[in-house]
């Protein structure tokens, strides 16, 4: 096929300075490692230390940061890659889209938005720089449908395989091939359920395809994005009507894709923390995480932390996850791969 010049992950600001642009943003406002590798999204990888690469708005990006700037670079699509909808975008629209992507859709909240409150987790002095991503609603919804009764390492693999199988190829950097996240149409296709099952989705394959089909047939392809303008409770209950979407997944999508900073996803980690540190009475009688308890925890954090409770929850979760992963790392034996002769 076409002359595919081999591209590499860019991992140096100084080597090709003209390829990089920056946004003023101190580390105290945003730490890429906390935001991109704490279970909010599953498709960013730190292939080189401090350089994070992922797909955003149909392009491959690498991000890094210095003390007071976030730096980004965008890779061109490889020759011969199908241009799909780009075909009918005129130049103006295309430029606007590019500008929009670069300036407004960086994977962080506008740093100033969140200055108002001083939630408790921030006072503890650790995990400064956790932010909530503003993700694409489709990717966010279907990624989190995959998280139920699952663990992160498997979730990551599932999503990666789904993108390879159902997404559009963008380019290859070193040995890594990048794809877009599958469209609603691709997820709703007739043979998708079987494909996903082969890719190890288990019973979630059914949730994915049926949710995609329900959205397209009952609402339309722009519906998810339109929920950004709906009130929190309305968006939440609408999402909960989809197969495979319960309170927790709905709150994840509300918080991380639909501009609902008051949404507080209560997962096992947050539930554990809530019982241990905030609402010990919930632990008595080993009650399970019922709908009532779920709401009680969310309401408690909302009164404690105000309208950005969801962000504070992300800080909690990130801290718990770091601890969890840290202890797992310590337990992992080092260097037992090859017995020596």
Q: Which residues bind DNA (CB under 7 A)?
A: 38-40, 147-152, 154, 197, 200-204, 240, 242-250, 252, 265, 267-269, 285, 287-288, 290-293, 317, 321, 324, 331-332
CB of 41 to DNA, least distance (A): 8
Q: How far is the CB of 155 from DNA (least distance, A)?
A: 7
Percentages (nearest 5) of helix, strand, coil residues in the chain? 50, 10, 40
When the beta carbons of 53 and 314 are compared against DNA, the nearer one is: 314
DSSP, collapsed to helix, strand or coil, labels residue 130 as coil
* Cβ atoms of residues 46 and 324 within 8 Å: no
Q: Which helix (H) or strand (E) holds 158?
A: helix 152-166
Nearer to DNA by C-beta: 20 or 317? 317
Contact 312, 119 (CB under 8 A): yes
Rounded Cα distance, 319 and 306, in Å = 20
Q: How far is the CB of 320 from DNA (least distance, A)?
A: 9
The Cα-based distances of 304 to 15, 57, 134, 234, 320 in angstroms read: 47, 35, 23, 23, 19
Which residues, including other chains, have CB under 8 Å from residue 120's CB and lie 6 or more apart?
304, 305, 312
When the beta carbons of 167 and 244 are compared against DNA, the nearer one is 244
| Nearer CB in complex with DNA: 168/193 | 193
How many CB atoms within 10 Å of residue 329?
Answer: 9
Nearer to DNA, 71 or 142 (CB): 142
User: Minimum CB separation from DNA for residue 79, in Å?
Assistant: 35
**In the numeric block, which tokens belong to residue 334?**
């080092």
> How many C-beta neighbours within 10 Å does residue 235 have?
25
Nearer to DNA, 55 or 245 (CB): 245
Per the annotation, the verdict on 248 as an active-site residue is yes
> Per the structure block, which two tokens stand in for 240?
């909960």
Dump the DSSP string for 302-329.
HHHHGGGHHHHHHHHHHHHHHHHHHHHH
42-114-275-299 Cα dihedral, nearest 10 degrees = -110
Whether 15 and 101 have beta carbons less than 8 Å apart is answered as no
Catalytic residue of the set 248, 260, 331, 332: 248
Minimum distance from CB of 154 to DNA (Å)? Answer: 6
Three-state DSSP at 71 gives: strand
- Tell the smallest beta-carbon distance from residue 53 to DNA (Å): 19
Catalytic residue ranges: 248
């Amino acid at each position: 096929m076409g002359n595919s010049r081999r591209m590499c992950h860019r991992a140096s600001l100084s080597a090709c300075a003209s390829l990089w642009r920056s946004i003023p943003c101190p580390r105290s406002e945003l730490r890429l490692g906390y935001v991109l590798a704490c279970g909010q999204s599953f498709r960013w990888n730190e292939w080189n230390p401090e350089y994070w690469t992922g797909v955003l708005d149909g392009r491959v990006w690498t991000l890094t940061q210095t003390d007071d700037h976030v730096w980004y670079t965008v890779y061109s699509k490889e020759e011969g890659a199908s241009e799909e909808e780009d075909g009918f975008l005129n130049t103006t629209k295309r430029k606007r889209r590019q500008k929009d992507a670069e300036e407004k859709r960086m994977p962080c909240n506008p740093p100033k938005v969140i200055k108002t409150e001083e939630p408790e987790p921030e006072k503890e002095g650790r995990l400064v720089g956790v932010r909530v991503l503003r993700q694409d609603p489709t990717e966010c919804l279907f990624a989190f449908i995959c998280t139920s009764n699952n663990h992160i390492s498997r979730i990551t693999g599932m999503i990666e395989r789904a993108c390879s199988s159902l997404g559009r190829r963008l380019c290859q950097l070193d040995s890594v091939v990048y794809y877009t996240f599958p469209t609603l149409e691709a997820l709703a296709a007739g043979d998708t359920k079987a494909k996903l099952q082969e890719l190890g989705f288990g019973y979630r394959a059914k949730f994915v395809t049926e949710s995609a089909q329900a959205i397209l047939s009952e609402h339309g392809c722009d519906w998810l994005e339109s929920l950004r303008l709906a009130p929190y409770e309305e968006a939440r209950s609408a999402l909960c009507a989809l197969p495979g979407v319960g309170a927790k997944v709905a709150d994840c999508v509300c918080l991380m894709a639909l501009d609902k900073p008051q949404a507080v996803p209560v997962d096992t980690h947050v539930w554990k923390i809530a019982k241990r540190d905030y609402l010990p009475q919930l632990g008595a009688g080993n009650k399970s995480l019922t709908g009532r308890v779920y709401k009680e925890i969310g309401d408690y954090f909302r009164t404690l932390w105000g309208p950005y409770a969801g962000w504070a929850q992300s800080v909690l979760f990130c801290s718990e996850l770091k601890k969890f992963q840290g202890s797992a790392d310590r337990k992992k034996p080092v260097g037992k791969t090859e017995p020596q002769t």
